[in-house]
């Protein structure tokens, strides 16, 4: 029995509801985790999702900025809307969903972008990002025979050399600086998380999930970064049947600069 989870920084859910609808109609993931919804809870388009078969909805939104939401064709139990760095931003939501005979704790994250200057002494946005990642050390991939964990979202860091179009040129660019990538990978490893996008992909193969709006022709330039991630506890790895990055969605009408990533698990 297949079970799928999609993650997508949608960059305003109400503005881009037509392409969200396209994703759900064409790919029908069991669960969709959205980031940067830019929508307070009372204005979230819940009725539109329900009409598409996604009646189970968990929201952690705010007006005009940030925001995460998880919608599902299966029942959800809201676990936590955690605040990080004593900041009121809506950047985390965790739910439980049953699949494969397990109770899966699913974290949906939107990590701060960090601004343009990679110096925490002069850029408070970058300091916030580093502190946020440090605080994520508390989120661990605990599991047993009856439970598992998945963490998805726009984590705004491309940790590996071939997660960006040019490792050398981006070493001083926020999202790929050594201080970010090293703390990010240390946090992932310490939490016992498995990086599912890289699990069956050689480290020298490029993977991108984001292409800047600034590019005149994003597809020809192909200067992407892997900013969106899917992690799991170790007991889900053997059930992973595939990861799909919907690159074509970057060319849909009025697109987000991120594309959806869908992880599919085959459970007995």
pLDDT of residue 184: 98
Beta-ladder partners of 77: 96
Is the pLDDT at 26 greater than 70? The verdict is yes
Q: How many of the other CB atoms lie within 10 Å of CB of 73?
A: 17
Beta pairing partners, 224: 211
Res 267: pLDDT: 84
Cα–Cα distance between 200 and 197 in angstroms, integer? 7
Does the model's pTM come out above 0.75? yes
CATH of the domain at 88: 3.60.10.10
Measured CA to CA, the distance from residue 78 to residue 242 in angstroms comes to 27
- Pair of tokens at residue 190: 């310490």
| pLDDT above 70 as % of the chain | 100
Q: Helix/strand/coil (H, E, C) string of 141-172?
A: CCCECCEEEEEEEECCCCCCHHHECCCCCCCC
Number of domain units in the chain:
1
Question: What pLDDT score was predicted for residue 1?
Answer: 75
Which pLDDT tens digit goes with each residue over 82-96? 999 999 999 999 999
Tens of pLDDT along 175-233?
Answer: 999 999 999 999 999 999 999 999 999 999 999 999 999 988 999 999 999 999 999 99
Contact (Cβ atoms closer than 8 angstroms) between residue 197 and residue 5: no
Mean pLDDT of 260-266: 97
Residue 268 pLDDT: 58
| Predicted pLDDT at 37 | 98
Are 130 and 34 in contact, with CB atoms under 8 Å apart? no
Among the residues of the chain, which ranges form H helices? 17-27, 46-51, 124-135, 178-190, 196-199, 218-221
Q: Domain residues for 116? A: 2-266
């Amino acid at each position: 029995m297949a079970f799928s989870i999609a993650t997508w920084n949608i960059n305003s859910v109400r503005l881009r509801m037509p392409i969200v609808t396209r994703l759900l109609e064409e790919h029908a993931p069991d669960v969709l985790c959205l980031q940067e919804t830019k929508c307070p809870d009372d204005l979230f388009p819940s009725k539109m999702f329900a009409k598409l078969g996604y009646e189970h909805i968990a929201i952690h939104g705010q007006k005009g900025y940030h925001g995460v939401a998880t919608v599902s064709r299966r029942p959800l139990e809201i676990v936590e809307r955690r605040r990080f760095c004593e900041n009121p931003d809506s950047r985390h939501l965790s739910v439980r969903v049953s699949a494969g005979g397990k109770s899966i704790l699913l974290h949906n994250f939107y990590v701060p972008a960090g601004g343009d200057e990679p110096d925490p002494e002069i850029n408070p946005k970058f300091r916030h990002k580093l502190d946020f990642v440090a605080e994520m050390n508390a989120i661990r991939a605990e599991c047993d025979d009856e439970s598992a964990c998945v963490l998805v979202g726009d984590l705004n860091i491309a940790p590996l050399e071939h997660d960006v179009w040019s490792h050398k040129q981006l070493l001083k660019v926020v999202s790929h600086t050594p201080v970010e990538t090293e703390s990010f990978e240390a946090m992932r490893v310490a939490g016992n998380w498995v990086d599912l996008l890289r699990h069956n992909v050689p480290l020298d193969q490029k993977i991108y999930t984001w292409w800047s709006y600034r590019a005149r022709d994003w597809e020809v330039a192909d200067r992407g970064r892997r900013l969106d991630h899917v992690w799991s506890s170790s007991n889900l790895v053997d059930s992973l049947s595939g990861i799909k990055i919907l690159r074509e969605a970057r060319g849909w009408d009025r697109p987000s600069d991120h594309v959806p990533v869908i992880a599919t698990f085959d459970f007995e």
